[in-house]
Amino acid sequence: MTTQISSTRGSRSVATSGGMVVTGVLLIGLCIMIFVPHVVGEYGTQIGFRALIYLTLAEAWNLLAGYGGLVSLGSSSFVGIGAYILMGMLNAGGFGIAAALTASGLGASALAVIVSPAVFRLRGLYFTVGTLALGEALRLFMINVSYFGGATGIFLNSNPPPIEVLYVYAVALAGIATLVMEVSTGTRFSILLRSVRDDEDAASQVGVRAFRVKLAAFAVASLLMGAAGGLQALKLGAIEPYGMFGLQWSIDTLSIVIIGGLGVRFGPIVGTVFVIALAEALADYPELHLAMTGVILILVIRFAPKGLCGLAQDLYRAFIGRSGRARAPQAGGAQT
């Protein structure tokens, strides 16, 4: 468990000295991004929207896996539930988009609470397998139950808002995710969460209620993922179970965080830029793109356990000498 010990040290310094700076930089960046559609045109706005959805999912997943040690392969469950809730509410009529998105998040959070007895019952790796099974089970359920549209899915009755409007919602959602991460990683909660990650037994011995701490992180992360799924559904205007509950959501989210830097505050944003760039470069070769993602994942896990941010940190230290303390966020930021 040597890597875990060192990762604790790394993320603690980030959380205490760099966290506020990172959040400030991210929020200022998001404010600037509001004006992006006026500059880059429709295609650029589409990519920006996708990046913001990915960033939100990655922030949530980083909270779970990076800070809580809960490696989930079930991101698609919460994206999908959020998508179906939003479609249901907007088609029923009488609800605004903000209300529907909130409901998407709360619904996903409720799902997390409901399945928590199953996925937390056994530690560590069973959480991963349990969440993987959850996503597949929900997908099969939605395909087979005609009430939810079966394999065809659901269409939005009304026209989806234009991409410029959706984009502003995405900026706001990513902003909320950033604030949530600031609160989760900069307060006492982050210490509780990391104590449970590093040694659940020891944490319980000193009075940390491990189950509650894990559940809180799981519920918060699922809330963000559900809202992101709802927003994605609103953009698509039509959803079906293969897409919204597809393993692709889980793969993308996990790849972003691991490539960017697991448990590093700036990891998700660096990873998002990298993964979006790779997807754009290989857009015509989907199989090659996925296979490449697998290769990069294996290489990063083996040679750069702290992702690109960790690599940047190491390089920075090599140049400056050993005096660079907690400079990784800034070093990582320079790439974005």
Q: In the range 80-139, which residues lie near another protein by CB under 8 A? A: 115, 117-119, 121-122, 124-126, 128-130, 132-134, 136-137
Residue whose CB is less far from another protein, 146 or 323: 146
Look up tokens 């189950």; give the residue: 211
Look up tokens 């984009």; give the residue: 167
In the complex, what is the shortest distance from the CB of residue 193 to another protein, in angstroms, rounded to a whole number?
A: 16
Dist. CA 298–CA 302, nearest whole Å: 6
Instruction: Give the up-direction half-sphere exposure of residue 307: CA atoms within 13 A in the CB hemisphere.
Output: 30
Residue whose CB is less far from another protein, 40 or 281: 281
Q: Interface with another protein includes 202 (CB under 8 A)?
A: no
Residue whose CB is less far from another protein, 287 or 334: 287
In the complex, what is the shortest distance from the CB of residue 4 to another protein, in angstroms, rounded to a whole number?
A: 6
Residue whose CB is less far from another protein, 141 or 155: 141
* Secondary structure (DSSP) of 85-145: HHHHHHHH-S--HHHHHHHHHHHHHHHHHHHHHHHHHS-THHHHHHHHHHHHHHHHHHHH-
Q: Interface with another protein includes 141 (CB under 8 A)?
A: yes
Q: Interface with another protein includes 140 (CB under 8 A)?
A: yes
Q: In the range 260-299, which residues lie near another protein by CB under 8 A? A: 287-288, 290-291, 293-295, 297-298
Of 55, 3, 67, 65, which Cα lies nearest the Cα of 310?
A: 3
In the complex, what is the shortest distance from the CB of residue 140 to another protein, in angstroms, rounded to a whole number?
A: 4
Who's near 34: CB < 8 A, 6+ residues apart? 168, 171
Q: Interface with another protein includes 147 (CB under 8 A)?
A: no
Burial class of 245 by CB neighbour count within 10 A (0 to 12, 13 to 18, 19+): buried
Query: DSSP letter at 65?
Result: I
Of 59, 62, 85, which Cα lies nearest the Cα of 224?
A: 59
Pairing between β-strand 154-155 and β-strand 238-239 as defined by DSSP bridges:
antiparallel
Interaction pattern, residues 235-264, with another protein; x per rule: CB under 8 A: ------------x---x--x---x------
Residue whose CB is less far from another protein, 3 or 187: 3
Q: Interface with another protein includes 211 (CB under 8 A)?
A: no
Residue whose CB is less far from another protein, 100 or 142: 142
Dist. CA 168–CA 273, nearest whole Å: 19
Which residue ranges make up the site for another protein (CB under 8 A)? 1-4, 69, 71, 73, 115, 117-119, 121-122, 124-126, 128-130, 132-134, 136-137, 140-141, 143-144, 247, 251, 254, 258, 287-288, 290-291, 293-295, 297-298, 301-302, 305
